[in-house]
Amino acid sequence: MRTLRLTFMALFLVAVSAAHARQQAVTEGQAEYVLDKLSQRLRSRPAPRADIRKIYESADLDAYLRERARAYLSTPEFAETLSYHLDELFFIKAPLVSDRLLNKIEPKAYSESEAERFKRNNALSNLFRSLARENRSWDELLVSKSYAAYDGSLVSGIDASDLGFYSAVADVLSPISGLVRVLSDATGQPDANGYPMRSPTRSVVKLDFGPSDPRIAGALTTSRFFNRYTNTAINKNRRRAAAVLRIFLGKDMVPAIGTGESIDHELNKLAYGQGFEVSATEVTERLRDPHGKNPACYKCHQMLDPMGRVFASSGSILGSEPSPGALVLPERKLIQNVEGVGQLADYIRRQPEYVETQVRALWEWFVGKDIPLFRPRLKQMTELFEKAGRRSQDFIAALVSQPEFRSPELFLNKPGELESIEARAIFNTNCASCHTGDAAGTQAPAVSFDPLRIDDQDAAASAQEVYRQVVRLRRMPKGHKLSDDQVELVRKWLATGAIDGDGKMQITPGSVQ
């Protein structure tokens, strides 16, 4: 049976890779599968029957699939789908209208509230959609200097407008100032999504800043980004920096202080452990040093603190002056001083970590999270990203023409590949912060996932120790427990050879027990 599967897979791969060369290399059945997948991934809905029917009339199925992909990429549903993914990436609330659009609920069937209008029409979501609609460079997420900002009214408990956010940098109070021009206002006409502007008294206002304005940086300088990643006196914009590092550079920061607890309590716990209550001043003094000297803290803070400073001139709204800071990437010993958030964004988009993180995200959204993207393939995809000029539609069109997309899922996976992806996530979340080898007071040995190492032990010995501590004795991680599923996943990863980021086995399968 397994031989049969492998044979089929091999045949299928040959067929797919030769698709460009030979007409009808894709069968109608396969084309139907691919077409439906294209529609699902790009439009969040099944392929139209008419499109499916045309498969059986088409002389060149491969060309037809490519044409349909392009057509789907130009639909409003694709804009909403991409926007939805970006909402998730930014951890912001998706607008209800996206649900309704994607679920084919007619606009007239409901009354959109002011809050919903804002969620749909704000500067950040409009930027997301414009990336999709206008095939803009993905970099615009970071470096765009234009916004379609929503001039909304008050909704209790929600910030249903974002013009005020720019009030210190743009004289939006005078809508005819040259800087601001009204895109669509009291006309009641349908907006770009085909939805009527319910309130004739509100407008979407176009804000255009200079191409080198150091205060402006695409999604980073929007009211929703600021409101999502709030700032406090203690936080000093690190929360915003952490979001930037996660979203654009693939660096997850683990917050030491929870956001839902009393800050005093959390600080006490952090500085003195449970059960001690001292004054906030003492805590601050005590914490001052660890931030600068304790490697466990410094590991993240050396990136967070200088990046956070680019937001320092802003309070509730965007500050009128740029604030200097720095992009620090310790692995590559990169310290790049910047004049403001605009320059920070410009430097970020030039980093290989940025390209890899964005390509990975787009791969997961459109090819599939369950299709591994190991390093050699990632390199090919980053080259494709550059070749497409980093333009959203062009790159996604290229992604969905890859064999991994067109083949039935899981066929390409070797045993242990999926576990490798999941195990890496578990390692990053649960192990990496303490097992740096230099975390003061923890006595935790240095552990790396890729290559698998505990201090200077080889992969086989390290794997054995991971198995003992995590799977058999369940001693690790300290402070909290992995779920049974997570432990089982680590076990499977080890049992199948501890596949690394290149897709290669680091140990002999079955050698760990």
Partner 1 sequence: MEKSKLAFLTLSLAVCAAVSASAQGPSYIGGTRTAGPGGDTVETFPLGPSVVENKTGTRRLVWADGREATVSVGRTRQFSARVPLKFQENGCVSPDIKLPNCSLRVQFSGLTYGIYWTKHPDPKRINMPITAPNGEVLRTIPGVGELHFLAPHLATGAKPALECDSWDWLPVRTISRWELQSMSPNSETGQSDNQNELSMLGVKLAPAGTRLEISSIDKIVAKQAGQIGLFISLDDIAWYLPHPAFGDPSSRSCQMTLRMDFTAVMPDGFSAEELRQMAMNGQIVEPFDETNQIHREIRALVTFNNPRVPSFDTIESFFFRREWLDLKCVGTSYPPFCSQGIDWSQTKERPLQ
Among 62, 80, 116, 151, binds partner 1 (CB under 8 A): 151
Contacts to partner 1 from residues 479-498, by CB under 8 A? none
Nearer to partner 1, 100 or 202 (CB): 202
Nearer to partner 1, 94 or 388 (CB): 94
Which burial class, exposed, middle or buried, applies to 442 when counting CB atoms under 10 A from its CB (0-12, 13-18, 19+)? Answer: middle
Among 62, 116, 159, 417, binds partner 1 (CB under 8 A): 159
Among 78, 84, 138, 165, binds partner 1 (CB under 8 A): 165
When asked if residue 255 is in the footprint of partner 1 (CB under 8 A), the reply is no
Q: Which residues of 351-368 are buried (b: 16+ CB within 10 A; e: fewer)?
A: bebbbbbbbbbbbbbbbb
CA pair distance 368, 424, nearest whole angstrom: 17
Which of 115, 123, 341 is CA-nearest to residue 215?
A: 341
Nearer to partner 1, 6 or 186 (CB): 186
| Alpha helices, H only, 445-483 | 459-466
Among 29, 178, 194, 260, binds partner 1 (CB under 8 A): 260
When asked if residue 153 is in the footprint of partner 1 (CB under 8 A), the reply is yes
Among 95, 152, 290, 477, binds partner 1 (CB under 8 A): 152
Q: Which residues contact 341 (CB under 8 A, 6 or more apart)?
A: 214, 215, 216, 217, 220, 221, 310, 311, 322, 323, 325
Which of 382, 393, 326, 328 is CA-nearest to residue 355?
A: 382
When asked if residue 148 is in the footprint of partner 1 (CB under 8 A), the reply is no
The continuous run of DSSP H or E covering 147 comes out as strand 146-151
Measure CA of the first residue to CA of the last residue in the chain; give whole Å. 29
In the complex, minimum distance from the CB of residue 151 to partner 1, in angstroms, rounded to a whole number: 5
When asked if residue 23 is in the footprint of partner 1 (CB under 8 A), the reply is no
The 3-state DSSP composition of the chain as helix, strand, coil percent (nearest 5) reads 50, 5, 40
When asked if residue 177 is in the footprint of partner 1 (CB under 8 A), the reply is no
Q: Which residues contact 272 (CB under 8 A, 6 or more apart)?
A: 278, 283, 286
- How many residues line the site for partner 1 (CB under 8 A)? 53
Nearer to partner 1, 103 or 156 (CB): 156
When asked if residue 380 is in the footprint of partner 1 (CB under 8 A), the reply is no
Q: Find where tokens 């990046």 sit.
A: 307
Among 30, 39, 161, 496, binds partner 1 (CB under 8 A): 161
Nearer to partner 1, 30 or 223 (CB): 223
When asked if residue 315 is in the footprint of partner 1 (CB under 8 A), the reply is yes
Contacts to partner 1 from residues 274-303, by CB under 8 A? 280-281, 284
When asked if residue 189 is in the footprint of partner 1 (CB under 8 A), the reply is no
Contacts to partner 1 from residues 216-235, by CB under 8 A? 223-224, 227-228, 230-235
When asked if residue 105 is in the footprint of partner 1 (CB under 8 A), the reply is no
Q: Are 466 and 507 in contact (CB under 8 A)?
A: no
CA pair distance 27, 406, nearest whole angstrom: 12
CA pair distance 95, 457, nearest whole angstrom: 50
Q: What is the amino acid identity at position 33?
A: Y
When asked if residue 93 is in the footprint of partner 1 (CB under 8 A), the reply is yes
What is the distance, to the nearest Å, from the Cα of residue 111 to the centroid of all Cα atoms in its chain? 31
What's the alpha-carbon Rg for the chain, to the nearest Å? 25
Among 6, 11, 14, 186, binds partner 1 (CB under 8 A): 186
When asked if residue 466 is in the footprint of partner 1 (CB under 8 A), the reply is no
Among 42, 47, 92, 459, binds partner 1 (CB under 8 A): 92
Binding segment for partner 1 (CB under 8 A), chosen from 89-97, 136-144, 210-218, 245-253, is: 89-97
Binding segment for partner 1 (CB under 8 A), chosen from 153-161, 246-254, 366-374, 393-401, is: 153-161
* DSSP one-letter code for 93: P
In the complex, minimum distance from the CB of residue 168 to partner 1, in angstroms, rounded to a whole number: 7
Give the x-and-dash track for 319-358 against partner 1 (CB under 8 A). --x-xx----------------------------------
Which residues does residue 391 pair with via DSSP β-bridges, in sequence order?
137
Alpha carbons within 13 angstroms on the beta-carbon side of residue 4 total 1
Q: Which residues contact 380 (CB under 8 A, 6 or more apart)?
A: none
Binding segment for partner 1 (CB under 8 A), chosen from 34-42, 162-170, 385-393, 500-508, is: 162-170
Neighbours of 375 (CB within 10 A): 14
In the complex, minimum distance from the CB of residue 326 to partner 1, in angstroms, rounded to a whole number: 9
Give the x-and-dash track for 200-219 against partner 1 (CB under 8 A). xxx-----------------
What is the contact surface with partner 1 in residues (CB under 8 A)?
91-93, 151-154, 156-165, 167-168, 172-173, 175, 185-186, 200-202, 223-224, 227-228, 230-236, 259-260, 263, 280-281, 284, 309, 312-313, 315-317, 321, 323-324
